[in-house]
Amino acid sequence: MKFEILNQPLHQTETDVKVVFVVKKDMSHLWIEDKESLELLGFKGESEETLFIPNNRTLYVGCDSLEADEIRLATAKTLESLQKATFKTLRIGTYSNECPKMSFMALIEGFILGSYSFNKYKSKKEPLNIEKVLICLDDYSNSNISMQSAQESLKIATVIAEATNFAKEIVNTTPHDMTPIALAEVAKTLSSLPNVTCKIMDEHFLQEQGMNAFLAVNRASVHPPRLIHLSYTPKEPKKRLVYVGKGLTYDSGGLSLKPSEHMVTMKADKSGGAAVMAIFKAAATLELPYEIHAIVGATENMIGGDAYKPDDVLVAKNGKTIEVRNTDAEGRLVLADCLCYAQELKPDLLIDMATLTGACVVALGEYTTGIMGHSSELKHTMQKAASKSGELSGTLPFNKYLEKLLKSSVADMSNISSSRYGGAITAGLFLDNFIEEENKEKWLHLDIAGPAYIEKSWGYNQCGASGAGVRMNLYWMLEENKQ
Domains of the chain as residue ranges with CATH:
2-144 (3.40.220.10), 163-482 (3.40.630.10)
- Percent of the chain at pLDDT > 70 equals 100
The reported pLDDT for the residue numbered 97 is 78
* Cα 358 from Cα 193, distance rounded (Å): 36
DSSP 85-134: S---EEEEEE--SS-HHHHHHHHHHHHHHHH----TT-SS-------EEE
Continuous H helices in 286-350: 331-343
Question: For residue 98, what pLDDT is reported?
Answer: 74
User: Are the beta carbons of 326 and 415 closer than 8 angstroms?
Assistant: yes
Q: To the nearest whole percent, how much of the chain has pLDDT over 90?
A: 95
Distance from C-alpha of 239 to C-alpha of 348, rounded to nearest angstrom: 6
Give the pLDDT score at 482.
Answer: 84
Q: How many helices (H) and strands (E) does the chain have?
A: 15, 19
Residue 167 is predicted with a pLDDT of 98
Would you name the residues annotated as active-site residues? 258, 332
How much is the mean pLDDT over the chain?
A: 96
Sheet with 132-139: strands ordered across:
2-6, 132-139, 89-94, 17-23, 58-63, 50-53
CA distance 255 to 216: 12
Q: How far apart are CA 370 and CA 364, in angstroms?
A: 7
**208: helix, strand or coil:** helix
> 432-439 long-range CB contacts below 8 Å, 24 or more apart?
432/374, 432/398, 432/403, 433/320, 433/336, 433/406, 434/316, 434/318, 434/320, 434/335, 434/336, 434/337, 434/339, 434/340, 435/339, 435/343, 435/350, 436/343, 439/343, 439/347, 439/350
Tens of pLDDT along 55-99? 999 999 999 999 999 999 999 999 999 999 999 999 999 998 778
Give residues with Cβ within 8 angstroms of 49, minimum separation 6: 43, 61, 62
Give the per-residue pLDDT at 141: 80
- pLDDT, one tens digit per residue, over 231-286 is 999 999 999 999 999 999 999 999 999 999 999 999 999 999 999 999 999 999 99
pLDDT, tens only, 440-458? 999 999 999 999 999 999 9
CB 168 within 8 A of CB 464: yes
Rounded to whole angstroms, the Cα distance separating 205 from 415 reads 24
The low-confidence residues of the chain, meaning pLDDT below 70, are: none
- Give the chain's length: 483
The pTM assigned to this predicted structure is 0.97
Please tell me the predicted confidence (pLDDT) of residue 142: 75
